[in-house]
């Protein structure tokens, strides 16, 4: 993508990862489904294998050897999301949890197994850290406790903002300063690069469950890390040896999703603000959690760190667990399902589903429901919720 000035986000979303399309004579991203690739000879094949398995991109004329090491369709998606986040490199995986796993393994391998984690986090991430399954050690800390939690063995400071599921906002720049050089990784799934770019605030790594907003249609699963080339080179060999590379069909769908990401996020966000305001007026609801609501952005990060409040919200039923279950069961237009960020509105009960394995002290309240607002008319979403509540 070549322009006379720095292109805007919407332009990058449409054109990033398409630089070579004209030279290749294509207009849509080709899907390379090859599992293996021809070799010029044994020595050239061996050299290419060493190059790719060591975490380096292929050189001109090299064979890709084997799809577990590299795939050109995946590489185009990686280029696209790196351009949107402002990173120099990206590594795409079969899921968000595969991306998280590879990143944690890279720090353990570097002799830095300690992770400082700021809750709330996605339930799968929280559970993986708590189990120590990968050889990690975790200290859960509040934002103001990060500096005192850092040790010489700290390999990552892990945070998510907005937080899942209660939409807590964390000052990324402040955490980066407190980390004192320890790499900060930000799960940016909820915000997307449309609303927030953590690398601009000092983070070393940005994580996405690409299954969510990046794909946007609930039909492609993937995960991606965006970072600098040096950090990427420590993670790519782990992806290669564990076989966790994103499937090329998923890469095609995720790359296609990037083109409409800005207009989807902006429209969903406007609707979410309207839905949050309507729910806040309902007597059956104790509180609505969304950065647009009073008290939802205590550090005034919207407008400074984020360009908008996003399209995910949570609300707590005044009558607790049974009332929350009843609402999830009664919705008609809205789909009762986990996941988020798609074109249709989804509702789910975090404590019973996505955050089920989280320790009791960090588990969301039993009356809380999480809503991922889609592209439907705001009035129809509100009517469905009011009907389910009443």
| CATH number, position 229 | 3.40.640.10
| Same domain? 107 vs 155 | yes
| Same domain? 351 vs 253 | no
| Same domain? 246 vs 272 | no
Q: What is the CATH number of the domain that holds 313?
A: 3.90.1150.10
Contact 155, 110 (CB under 8 A): yes
Domain that holds residue 346: 262-389
| Same domain? 73 vs 176 | yes
| Same domain? 377 vs 299 | yes
Q: Give the C-alpha separation, 323 to 159, whole Å.
A: 31
Domain C-terminal end among 221, 243, 258 = 258
| Same domain? 283 vs 192 | no
Domain C-terminal end among 217, 232, 258 = 258
As given in the structure block, the two tokens for residue 287 are: 């509180």
Query: Is 363 tagged catalytic?
Result: no
User: Which member of 32, 56, 68, 330 is catalytic?
Assistant: 68
Q: Where are the alpha helices (DSSP H) in the chain?
A: 9-15, 21-24, 42-53, 72-85, 96-109, 123-131, 146-149, 172-179, 192-195, 229-242, 248-280, 321-330, 378-389
pLDDT of residue 61: 85
- As for how many domains the chain has, the answer is 2
| Same domain? 227 vs 299 | no
Q: Give the C-alpha separation, 212 to 52, whole Å.
A: 29
In a domain, 4, yes or no: no
In a domain, 1, yes or no: no
| Same domain? 136 vs 268 | no
Contact 71, 113 (CB under 8 A): no
In a domain, 311, yes or no: yes
| Same domain? 30 vs 100 | yes
Q: Give the C-alpha separation, 13 to 357, whole Å.
A: 36
User: Which member of 171, 187, 297, 384 is catalytic?
Assistant: 187
pLDDT of residue 1: 58
Q: The pTM is what?
A: 0.96
Instruction: Find the helix or strand (DSSP H, E) in which 140 lies.
Output: strand 137-140
| Same domain? 238 vs 286 | no
| Same domain? 236 vs 273 | no
pLDDT of residue 92: 98
pLDDT under 70: residue ranges of the chain: 1-4
Ordered DSSP codes for 171-194: -HHHHHHHHTTSPEEEE-TTTHHH
- Measure Cα distances from 42 to 47, 71, 240, 284 in Å: 9, 20, 20, 70
SS3 for 10-26 is HHHHHHCCCCCHHHHCC
Query: Is 187 tagged catalytic?
Result: yes
Residue 310: which of 190, 132, 186 has the closest Cα?
190
Domain C-terminal end among 202, 228, 258 = 258
Q: 101: Cβ–Cβ under 8 A, 6 or more apart, which residues? A: 128, 134, 242, 244
User: Which member of 204, 212, 363, 370 is catalytic?
Assistant: 212
Residue 214: which of 304, 70, 339, 333 has the closest Cα?
339
Q: For 103, list phi and psi in degrees, rounded to 5.
A: -65, -45
């Amino acid at each position: 993508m070549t322009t006379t000035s720095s292109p805007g986000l919407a332009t990058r979303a449409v054109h990033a990862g398409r630089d070579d399309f004209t030279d290749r004579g294509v207009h849509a991203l080709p899907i390379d489904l090859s599992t293996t690739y021809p070799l010029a000879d044994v020595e050239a094949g061996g050299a290419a294998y060493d190059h790719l398995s060591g975490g380096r991109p292929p050189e001109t004329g090299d064979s890709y050897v084997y799809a577990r090491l590299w795939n050109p369709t995946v590489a185009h998606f990686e280029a696209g999301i790196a351009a949107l986040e402002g990173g120099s490199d990206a590594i795409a995986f079969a899921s968000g949890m595969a991306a998280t796993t590879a990143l944690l393994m890279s720090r353990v391998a570097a002799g830095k197994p300690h992770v400082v984690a700021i809750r709330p986090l996605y339930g799968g991430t929280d559970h993986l850290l708590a189990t120590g399954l990968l050889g990690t050690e975790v200290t859960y800390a509040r934002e103001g406790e990060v500096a005192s939690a850092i040790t010489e063995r700290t390999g990552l400071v892990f945070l998510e903002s907005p937080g899942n599921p209660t939409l807590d906002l964390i000052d990324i720049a402040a955490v980066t300063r407190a980390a004192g050089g320890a790499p900060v990784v930000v799960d940016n799934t909820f915000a997307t690069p449309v609303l927030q770019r953590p690398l601009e605030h000092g983070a070393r790594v940005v994580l996405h469950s690409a299954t969510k907003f990046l794909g946007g249609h609930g039909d492609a699963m993937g995960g991606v890390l965006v970072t600098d080339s040096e950090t990427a080179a420590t993670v790519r060999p782990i992806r290669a040896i564990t076989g966790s590379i994103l499937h090329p069909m998923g890469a095609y769908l995720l790359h296609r999703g990037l083109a409409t990401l800005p207009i989807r996020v902006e429209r969903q966000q406007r609707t979410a603000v309207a839905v949050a305001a309507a729910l806040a007026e309902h007597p059956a609801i104790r509180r609505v959690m969304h950065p647009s609501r009073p008290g939802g952005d205590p550090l005034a990060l919207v407008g400074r760190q984020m360009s908008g409040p996003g399209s995910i919200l949570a609300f707590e039923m005044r009558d607790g667990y049974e009332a929350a279950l009843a609402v999830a069961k009664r919705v008609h237009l809205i789909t009762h399902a986990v996941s988020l960020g798609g074109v249709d509105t989804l509702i789910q009960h975090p404590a019973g589903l996505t955050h089920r394995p989280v320790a009791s002290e960090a588990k969301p309240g039993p009356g809380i429901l999480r809503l991922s607002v889609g592209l439907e008319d705001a009035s129809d979403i509100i009517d469905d919720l009011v009907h389910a509540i009443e």
